[in-house]
Structure 1
Amino acid sequence: MDHTDGGSGPGEPQAERSRPGIGASPSRIASRRMRYEAGRALAWGAVIGLIALSIYLAQSLLVIFGALVFASMIDGGARLIGKVVPIGRGWRVAMVLILTVAFLAWLVIFAGSQISQQAAQFPQIVSAQADKFIALLRAHGFDISQTQVQSVIGSVASGVGTLSRAIGGAVGAIATTVLILIIGIYLALDPRAYERGVEWMVPEERREAFSDTLSHMAYNMRRLLAGRLLGMVVEGVFTYVLLSIIGVPMAALLGIITGLLAFIPNIGAIISGLLMVLVGFSGGTEMGLWTLATYFFVQNFDGYIVVPMIAKKTVDLAPALVLGFQLIMGVLFGVLGLMLADPMLAMIKVALERRAHRFDVADMTRSSRKAAG
C-alpha cells in the first residue's frame, strides 16, 4: 500500500486510517541520476577508506602474512613427513619444530665458536677492502672520499628502508619474530579451522570460488617456499665448499650469509656476492678472482638449473617484476617487507590467475549454451 496519499484499506485500524501520509524521507534523493552518482561516490569513498585503513594496519597485516609464510613452511614439512610416517598432524608439526630447533642448536653449539670469530673479523675485512677500493678509484683520477661513500651508503640504506621502520628496533624485532612464530604454529596445527573462519566472512554465493583460490594459493605457497629453501641450501653449501677449496677466509660464515640471503631473490644475491668478493680480495688478487668465479658459478647454477626446476612446480615470476616489487616493499616496510615481497607477489599472481580462469570457464559455458540453443 502507498502511504504517501493518505489512503487506507478496509482491514486497517481506525488510527491508521485517520493518520495523514508520512511522505518521502527528507534525505531521499528524488532524481534517479543523482541517486546513482551518490552511490558511486559512496563506493569510491568506501574504497578510499579501506585503502587508508590498510595503510594504517599495514605493519600488523605484514606480521600476519609473515606468520602465514612460516605456517606454510611448517605445513609443507608436516605433509612431507606424513608421506613417510602415518601419524597425526599435531605430531608431524611437532617433529618439524623439533628438527628445526635441533638444527639451530647444532649450528650454535658446533659451528658457533668458529662463526662468531669470523663474524668479529668480518667488518674489519670489509672496511679494509672498501678503503682499498677507494684508493684504487683515486689512483685512476676519481675524486672520492670515505665520507662521500658513507653518505651514499646511508642514502641507499634509507631508501631501501631500515629495520626500525619495519619492526620498531631490536626490541620490536624480537617481539615481531615471536609473534610470527606463535601465530604460524597455531595456523599450522589446524589450518582448515582458520580457512573456514575466513570463508564465513565471504558472501555465500562466492565462497566456492574463494575456497578454490585459497587452496591454490596455499598449494603454491608451500611449493614456492620448499623451492626457496632448496635453493638456500644449494647456494649455501656450494659457496662453503668452493670457498673452502680456494682457501678463502670465513668460508663458513660466507656460506651461511649466502644461504640466508638467497631467501630474497636478486637483491640477496647481489649483497652476498659483494661481501664474498670483498673478503676474497683480502687474500690477494688471485684469490679474489677465484672468489668472483665461484660467485658466478653458484649463481648461474642456481639461476639456470635450480630455479627453472622450481619454477616449473611453482609460480613462475618475471625477475624484473620481482625486483620492482621488492624495491617497493623495501621502501614501504623495510627489511621485513623485502623478505616477504616475493611470496606476496606470488600469491597475488595466483589470485589473478584463478580469477581469469573462472572468467574463461564462464565464457566457455555461455558459448556452449548459445551453440546448443
Structure 2
Amino acid sequence: MDVQTQPNSTGPHSPGPTDISDDLVKREAKKATVWIGVAGLFALAVLLAQPLLVIIGGIVFGAMIDGGQRLIARIAPWLPRGVRITLVLLGAFAFLVWLVIFAGGQIAAQAAQLPEVIQTQVTRLSLWAQSHGITMQDFNLQQVASQVLGSVGQVTRALGGIFGGFTTAFLIFILSIYFVLEPDLYRRGFAWMLPAESRDHFEGTAVRMGKALRMLLFGRLIGMAVEGVATWALLAWWGVPMAALLGLLTGLLAFLPNIGAPISGLLMVMVGFSGGTEMGLFCVAVYVIVQTVDGNIIVPMVAKRTADLAPALVLGAQLVFGLLFGILGLMLADPIVAMIKIALERQADRNNAARSPIITTTD
C-alpha cells in the first residue's frame, strides 16, 4: 500500500487555502464567481445610473450632431468636417437664442395662464357630468384637479428643465462635442479593452449603432419641427389661446414617442374647449391631422432605415426608464433600446455564423 507523504511546511509550490483540487467544485466556484460579478456590475450600474445616462446622452446627441454635419456634407462636401460641425452647433445655438429672446416672454406668460385654464376645464367637466346624471361621489374634484395640474406641472418642469438643468445639459453638450470630433478615437479605445477576436465584431456593431441613431434622431427632429410648427400655425390662425406655448410643447413632446403626443393633445383640446365648443373641435381636428401626417408619412419613412422598434417595446422602456431615472431616462429610452436591439441582433448573427456547419460538395 502506497502512502503519499504530505509536506510538513509550506513552500512556493505547496497548495494554498484557496486552491481547489476537485474539478466539480472548481467549475461550480467559477459559475458562482461569474454570477456574483454580474450582480456586482448590475449594482454598480444602478449606483452610477445618472453618470452613465449622461455619457449615453453625450453619445446620442453626438450622433445627432454627426448627422447634421453629414447632411451639410451632401450639400457642401468641400467644407472640412470641423467647419460642418461648427455650423451645426451655431445653428442650434441660434435657435436657443431665438427661443429665449423672441419667444421666451410670450411663452412664459402663456405658461402662467395654463394651470388656471386646466382647472377651469376640470370644473366645467364635473358640472357637465353632474348635469347628465353621472355621479361624482367616488371622486374628489380637488384631487382630480390637483392630479391634472400636477401632470401639467411635470410637463412644464420638463420644459423648464432644458434651461434649469444646466449642469446635466452642459455635461451632455461637452461630451457630445468630444465624441463627434474624434469618434474613431473613442471607438478604438473601447475596442482595445475587448478580446482581440471580438474587436472587429464590435467595430461593425458600433458603426451600425451610429447609423441607426443618426436616422432615428433625424426622423425625430423632423417630426418635432413638423408637429410644432404646424400646431402653432393652425392654432394661431384660428385664434386659439396660448398657440405658441402649445406649439412648443407639442414639438418638444414629439421627442417622446407614444407618450408625448397624448399629453400635448390633451392640453391642446382642454385649452381649445375653454374658448367654446367650436374651438375645441377645431383643436381635436388639428391634433388628428398633425398626428396622422407624422404617423403615416414621417415615422414610416424613417423607420425603414432605423432599428424598426416595436411601439409596445418603446412604450414599456419609456415607462421603466422614466420611473427609474426621471426625464433624462424617458428621453433616452428610445435610443438605448435601439442600441440594445442592434447589439443583440449582431450577437445572434455571430452565434449563428459560428454554429452553421461548413457545407462541402463532393463529386
TM-score by length of 1: 0.86
SS at 1:177 equivalent = helix
- Offset at 1:100? 1.1
| Counterpart check, 1:302 vs 2:298 | no
Would the aligned equivalents of 2:69 and 2:81 in 1 still touch at CA under 8 Å? yes
Q: Which residue of 2 aligns with 1:338?
A: 330
Q: Which residue of 2 aligns with 1:120?
A: 112
- 1:1-373 matches, within 5 Å, as 22-85=13-76, 86-139=78-131, 140-143=134-137, 144-150=139-145, 152=147, 173-364=165-356, 366-368=357-359, 370-371=360-361
In structure 2, stretches of 5+ residues that fail to align are: none
Deviations 1:328-350 (A, max 9, x none): 00110111111111111111111
Q: Which structure is larger by alpha-carbon Rg, 1 or 2?
A: 1
Tell me the amino acid that sits aligned with residue 296 of structure 2: Y
Would the aligned equivalents of 2:115 and 2:152 in 1 still touch at CA under 8 Å? no
Tell me the amino acid that sits aligned with residue 84 of structure 2: R
Q: Percent identity?
A: 50
- Offset at 1:156? 7.6
SS at 1:196 equivalent = helix
- Offset at 1:193? 1.0
- Offset at 1:172? 8.0
Decide whether aligned partners of structure 1 residues 357 and 299 sit closer, same or farther in structure 2, where only a CA change above 3 A counts.
same
C-alpha separation in 1, matches of 2:12 and 2:228: 81
Deviations 1:300-355 (A, max 9, x none): 22112211111012121111111111100011011111111111111111111212
- Offset at 1:171? 10
Would the aligned equivalents of 2:162 and 2:169 in 1 still touch at CA under 8 Å? no
- Offset at 1:137? 3.1
Would the aligned equivalents of 2:255 and 2:331 in 1 still touch at CA under 8 Å? yes
Decide whether aligned partners of structure 1 residues 20 and 355 sit closer, same or farther in structure 2, where only a CA change above 3 A counts.
closer
Would the aligned equivalents of 2:55 and 2:175 in 1 still touch at CA under 8 Å? yes
Is the deviation greater in 342-351 or in 352-361? 352-361
C-alpha separation in 1, matches of 2:168 and 2:150: 26
Would the aligned equivalents of 1:236 and 1:257 in 2 still touch at CA under 8 Å? yes
In structure 1, stretches of 5+ residues that fail to align are: 7-18
C-alpha separation in 1, matches of 2:195 and 2:124: 64
Tell me the amino acid that sits aligned with residue 65 of structure 1: I
- Offset at 1:161? 12
Deviations 1:79-116 (A, max 9, x none): 11122222222211111111111122223333333333
C-alpha separation in 1, matches of 2:124 and 2:195: 64
Number of equivalent positions: 352
C-alpha separation in 2, matches of 1:156 and 1:252: 20
Decide whether aligned partners of structure 1 residues 76 and 22 sit closer, same or farther in structure 2, where only a CA change above 3 A counts.
closer
C-alpha separation in 2, matches of 1:300 and 1:162: 25
Decide whether aligned partners of structure 1 residues 215 and 260 sit closer, same or farther in structure 2, where only a CA change above 3 A counts.
same
C-alpha separation in 1, matches of 2:178 and 2:212: 20
Q: Which residue of 2 aligns with 1:12?
A: none
